[in-house]
Structure 1
Amino acid sequence: MEFQAALRRAKHEIALPDPGWYPWDSFGTVTLLDRLLTGPRRFPEPMLGTDPVLDIGCGDGDLSFFLESFGYRVCAIDTPPTNFNRMAGVNALKTALDSSVRIEAIDLDRGFEIPIRRCGLALFFGILYHLKNPYGVLESLASHARYCLLSTAITRFAPDQTGVNHLPVAFLAGGDGLRGDGTNYWIFSESGLRTLLDRTGWEVCDWMVSAAENSVLWETQRDERVICLLRSRSFDATPATQLVDGWHVLESGAWRWTERRFSLSVAPGNQRVALKVTVPENLAPPLILTARVACDVIATHELPAPGDYECAQHIPPGPEVLLEFELGHALPPDAKDGRERGILVRDIEIG
């Protein structure tokens, strides 16, 4: 693919310290999607809507940057201690590609909070057996993601070669992990994996089992892998925001003016709100934009010159949060336009 070639060139030009780049093919699972996905789910738009993608265990971020190249918003997460190069690779590529992918360092086994409150699709490739608490992570993810693409190893046999595929079981690895990898903790039977997914709030949409020819488990049997598309039964599809005061009508189907003071209501559970704004040429710089919740300042943005900006703020939890903005000054009504005009808002991103 053209994107993969561009990615290889970018990596070649970056002097990454040892141990270097993530050595496994991040696109290997993607090649199976044509065989896995059926019906309207073969196309990403019905699954994603306007929500972002969450790439869990992103490695060097290859899939995150690939999806961004199609115009999707992406949040990539991993944990430095177990990431191959402690996340130096994904951060270096973000700079080299001038990317807007959001990168978060999060340990899913240590009281984590998923950094975005809503996503249309979560990528969960090769992560399940690295988790100490896979039940808790999958249950939490179901409340944040509409769909999930998951791949993981499974076993048909116990270590003594007793058949267990029909049983809802999982095996806890010893100190050497699985296949000598101490970061591997659990491996499920196929029935065990289906039970886990059902108990944690997921419905199976598409399911495929394939052999992993180069991987051996329990010293004798070939590894098998499941790749599946899941739909959450816990995802809340409530609209995320509602404009309240200080907004003018939508213009050209793409942007709207604000007044000097404007506000919006954020639905339950959202933590991050980012405004994509434009400061007009005829508004004297510098411009200060202040964000408040319940009269408390939560963010202050300095907009030093006319142009485009992203103004992001994390809001506190609550059943519904009124987010109020105030500009230091605005354009007053004049003979050409009888409205008070502050800035142009092009987009509002939630999560």
Structure 2
Amino acid sequence: MRLAEARQLDIAELNRRAQLFQHRLDAVKQQIARRGRQIAWYPYRSLSALAILEKLLTGERRRLLELAGDDPVLDLGCADGELAFFLESLGCSVHAVDYAETNSNGMEGVRALKQELGSSVEILGVDLDSQFTLPGQRYGLAFFLGTLYHLKNPYYALEALAERARYCVLSTRIAAYDADRRTLIRHLPVAYLLREGEANQDWTNYWVFSEAGLRLLLERTGWEVLDFLRVGNTSCSDPASAEGDERAFCLLKSLPLERAGLIELLRGWHAVEYRSWRWTEKHFSAGLVVPASMRPRLKLRFFLAESLVQRLGPLTISASVNGQPLAPETYSSAGEHAYVRHLPAAWPAGSRVVVDFHLSAALPPDESDPRERGIIVTSLLIE
């Protein structure tokens, strides 16, 4: 099938075609078995996730493959690669990634299917619990299904993925209660650490988040939640038992990639730290693109260091947009803050403006740090 046609398919039609493709996969597995090759296939139907996506996706996002554009698609935690091969059948360029040591058959299944199908899917073994790198420079869409709770470091994995994939379909196990079902955790931003073999006798299970914990994790790692759905035991789920199994499915958009072309750092910025934030100097500036909005506003989210407040007192932020001043604001306490102001003039959507910031004080260079340090910026945009 031509990719241009596949991009216009509603998720319901994708699901229908996936079920037909499943018959082809089953036949191929039987052919492999008849030749005497015994493979312990992944026990779950990967393509069944599309039936849940049919309930998850809304509006224009139901044309799921349109989100990928011309970029490759990533199947992260691909198991036997059934989803990857189905997407390839629709014309997508696909990278299938898993790790042999934790894959149910050492990745023998995905490689056997590739050979039998005559596929061009690129298969890679990547340890997602290492400081990994992904093969592609940019992915239009990533599928990250049923893998997050198998990782020791889900924060790093999601943060690294947000720098490579514009959109992501994610599913993972979540819990409303702790393991004994006595403590309600759904609305607390927490995760339950499983004992070895506690869930499904699987030693590769680690972190099961509450819904609030998952949402905060996604926010902190650079993702915007576009669609969210809970399935399974949605009333009294727990992190370990089979009857308490609840799953979250969500469609995510990468904020780092969305903003990459919308901001240009000009002066007064230090190097990025921990892949997510930067110190500024006392004076700093950036070029930003004005979005299509009735009343666009500038939003600077930052962290005010306790050492600055203790040594220099309250901090005042002043700003201007293309030379037009914005109202200043004073911050007296350490911690997270936001400086938010509507733009003072109507600039057309897509135009670039220069925003200059001035701080009333900054920490001077000293023996512990040779830099002038103002605030720690976590995000800057016009919305």
Asked if TM exceeds 0.5, the reply is yes
Richer in strand (by share): 1
Task: Give the corresponding residue for 1:188.
Answer: 209
Normalized per residue, which structure has more helix?
A: 2
Structure-to-structure mapping, 1:1-351, within 5 angstroms = 1-15=19-33, 17-160=37-180, 161-211=182-232, 217-219=239-241, 222-235=244-257
Structure 1 residue 44 displacement after superposition: 2.6
User: Structure 1 118/222 Cα, relative in aligned 2: closer, same or farther at 3 Å?
Assistant: same
Paired residues in the alignment total: 238
State the distance in 2 between where 1:100 and 1:79 align: 19
Give the C-alpha shift of residue 223 in structure 1.
Answer: 1.4
The change in CA–CA distance for 1:13 and 1:235 in structure 2 (over 3 A counts) is: same
CA distance in 1, matches of 2:244, 2:41: 27
Deviation readout 1:272-304 (Å, 9 max, x if unpaired):
xxxxxxxxxxxxxxxxxxxxxxxxxxxxxxxxx
Structure 1 CA distance for aligned equivalents of residues 122 and 178 of structure 2: 41
Q: Deviations over 1:44-64 (max 9, x none)?
A: 343111001100111111000
- Find the aligned partners of 2:179 and 2:20 in 1 and give their Cα distance: 44
- Aligned partner of 1:296 in structure 2 is none
* TM-score, normalised via structure 1 length: 0.64
Q: Which residue of 2 aligns with 1:280?
A: none
Q: C-alpha separation between the residues in 1 aligned to 2:65 and 2:54? A: 16
Contact 1:154 1:224 in 2 (8 A): yes
- 1:60 and 1:103 map into 2 onto residues whose CA distance is 10
Shift of 1:222: 1.6
**Structure 1 runs of 4+ with >4 Å offset:** 16-19, 215-221, 236-239
How far is the alpha carbon of 1:109 from its aligned partner? 0.6
Structure 1's 45 and 223: CA in aligned 2 closer, same or farther, altered over 3 A?
A: closer
CA contact (8 A) 1:178 1:185 kept: no
Q: How much is the aligned-residue C-alpha RMSD, in angstroms? A: 2.1
Residue type of the partner of 1:193? L
Q: Post-superposition shift, 1:159?
A: 2.5
* Worse-matched range after superposition: 200-209 or 44-53: 44-53
| Seq. identity, % | 50
What SS class does the counterpart of residue 14 from structure 1 fall into?
helix
Give the distance between the partners of 1:109 and 1:61, measured in 2 at CA. Answer: 20
Residues 35 and 105 (structure 1), Cα distance of their counterparts in 2 relative to 1, 3 Å cut: same
Alpha-carbon spacing, 1:96–1:25, altered in 2? closer, same or farther (3 Å):
same
Q: 1:10 to 1:113 in 2, by over 3 A?
A: same
Uncovered stretches (5+) of structure 2, i.e. residues with no partner: 1-18, 262-383
CA contact (8 A) 2:79 2:107 kept: yes
Letter in 1 for 2:213: G
Separation in 2, partners of 1:84, 1:212? 25
Structure 1's unaligned 5+ residue stretches are 240-351
Aligned to 1:264: none
- The code of the aligned residue for 2:246 comes to E
1:221/1:66 CA distance change after superposition, 3 Å: closer
Secondary structure, in 3 states, of the residue corresponding to 1:13?
A: helix
Distance (Å, rounded) in 1 between the aligned partners of 2:41 and 2:87: 20
Secondary structure at the aligned position of 1:191 is classed as: helix
Partners of 2:61 and 2:131 in 1: how far apart?
33
